[in-house]
Amino acid sequence: MNFATSAFGSLRVEIQDADGKPVPGFTLADSIELYGDTVARNAIWKDNPDLGALADKPVRLRFVMKDADLYSIKFE
């Protein structure tokens, strides 16, 4: 992700299934709060779950931002 936050800002990411239900291990509560100004930062979740389990499945990404700008994302 390419994003920037203020000193008091943050960004968190939740992965949801195609119906909009949070995927266990990738919920907003599991998301590690990110802050700063970066052009290449990965979203991370508690217990570092394996994204491989979501391969070839449709997902939604939910971004929750507080005083932050999100410029671009790359999902692999």
Q: What is the Cα–Cα distance from 23 to 40, expressed in whole angstroms?
A: 24
Q: Which two tokens stand for residue 40?
A: 């290449």
What total of structural domains would you count in the chain?
Answer: 1
pLDDT tens-place string over residues 47-61: 887 888 888 999 999
pLDDT of 76: 75
pLDDT of 72: 97
Q: What is the Cα–Cα distance from 5 to 38, expressed in whole angstroms?
A: 9
Asked if residue 75 is part of any domain, the answer here is: no
Asked if residue 21 is part of any domain, the answer here is: yes
Asked if residue 74 is part of any domain, the answer here is: no
pLDDT of 51: 87
Structural domain for 23, as ranges: 2-46+57-69
Asked if residue 76 is part of any domain, the answer here is: no
pLDDT of 21: 97
Output DSSP code: residue 53.
G
pLDDT tens-place string over residues 11-37: 999 999 999 999 999 999 999 999 999
